[in-house]
Structure 1
């Protein structure tokens, strides 16, 4: 079995703007190994979030090839992409994207139910307990703090045991204390489950916890540096 779970070759992204086409990514190539924790950093507008979206099949590359777990994402239709993400990927955004009319437990159970898991609610309860929110299972998102909502979002993303977890500024809307708690959970759960983590962040201390840091500038890879052995 190959050790590479994500592979991008000469990926470009061009989007139509009001003033014409805008070049977002320029010939990005990279491989991400199984179990690796990769940080994507760079100034605003450098293409970090766009690159993450392409890795998850949420945005299609204009040219180039994107392979995830041996599947060419550009060859998959929207329904097949959705099924692939359901079965293999978790995504955590800066905005929590919880369903406001569902309780914390129901939010976490939803992807499990969609995947046909029979004990979806039991497993969802275990995931909520793992992020310290078993006592908030029956609360709706509007009744939870920002830190609690992000912990629910993290539990939801990891409940199906994805091969790959994509996180886009997961602490961006949190205060320092809640952000630190979410980061500890994120890295702890990734290590415990063996999930490959790709993380977009502006925080140097968060990037420093990754195994490798890829710095983007103007839609190109500027540096690609592995963390020194401790």
Structure 2
């Protein structure tokens, strides 16, 4: 039996706009299996990032069901969702969302401390070394380049050993060289920790490395491609 780690069933997302309700996602049904790497692609405004937010419980479905690791995310309140993410998910955004008054080490250690991990700083140091920032642990975000800040964000997401790793345009704010480096690190973290990786991207080379690619258009799933099929073309 296929091991489904995340599932959406007939999921809609409607948000209130200035002119009234706006349908963002419509009738999304999708299963993600454990250990899979899934890419979400499509034009701007197609609903890619909104779908990722639903998967992480950062947006609440208007209708339908979103479940992860056997938990119905649509039934959890905000505090329970936050605890679930802290224990099971890592999230990397296009904007790095680092705490400016904390060093790289403190930024990575903070979610571990919140989770009650006694070895928070040891694990944070290990992850920073894994992304090549052993020499930057005591630096603040303003003292680091964009590529270095994204490495800190990756280390922070990976440090709790999440079962699901969500990435929203992780190379979007970076130049080609830094983007390539972050791409390699992202897949390296997946391999090292065995996480299921789901990412939103406009980068064809990043999508090409995924096991499966879901194409979205106008808030709906427009199609999907599998790595084996792409390789045969």
TM-score class, shorter-chain normalisation, is over 0.9
| Alignment match, 1:156 | 156
| Alignment match, 1:127 | 127
Matches within 5 A, 1:159-170: 159-170=159-170
TM-score of the superposed pair, with normalisation by structure 2: 0.97
RMSD value over aligned CA atoms?
A: 1.0
Report the secondary structure of 2:105's partner residue: helix
* Structure 2 gap ranges (5+): none
Deviations 1:58-117 (A, max 9, x none): 000000000000000011111100000000000000000000000000000011101111
| Alignment match, 2:102 | 102
* Structure 1 gap ranges (5+): none
| Alignment match, 2:12 | 12
Measured in 1, the distance between the counterparts of 2:189 and 2:123 equals 15
| Alignment match, 2:45 | 45
How far did 1:188 drift? 1.1
Measured in 2, the distance between the counterparts of 1:46 and 1:97 equals 24
| Alignment match, 2:26 | 26
Measured in 2, the distance between the counterparts of 1:25 and 1:128 equals 36
Measured in 2, the distance between the counterparts of 1:47 and 1:21 equals 15
Report the secondary structure of 2:60's partner residue: coil
Measured in 1, the distance between the counterparts of 2:123 and 2:88 equals 17
| Alignment match, 1:228 | 228
| Alignment match, 1:141 | 141
Regions of 4+ moved over 3 Å: none
Measured in 2, the distance between the counterparts of 1:100 and 1:2 equals 43
Query: Cα 1:75–1:2, aligned 2, differ >3 Å: closer, same or farther?
Result: farther
Deviations 1:133-154 (A, max 9, x none): 0100000000000000000000
Report the secondary structure of 2:135's partner residue: helix
How far did 1:2 drift? 6.2
TM-score of the superposed pair, with normalisation by structure 1: 0.98
| Alignment match, 1:113 | 113
Measured in 1, the distance between the counterparts of 2:211 and 2:24 equals 26
How far did 1:228 drift? 1.1
Measured in 1, the distance between the counterparts of 2:18 and 2:217 equals 23
Report the secondary structure of 2:132's partner residue: coil
Measured in 2, the distance between the counterparts of 1:2 and 1:143 equals 46
| Alignment match, 2:89 | 89
Measured in 1, the distance between the counterparts of 2:226 and 2:194 equals 19
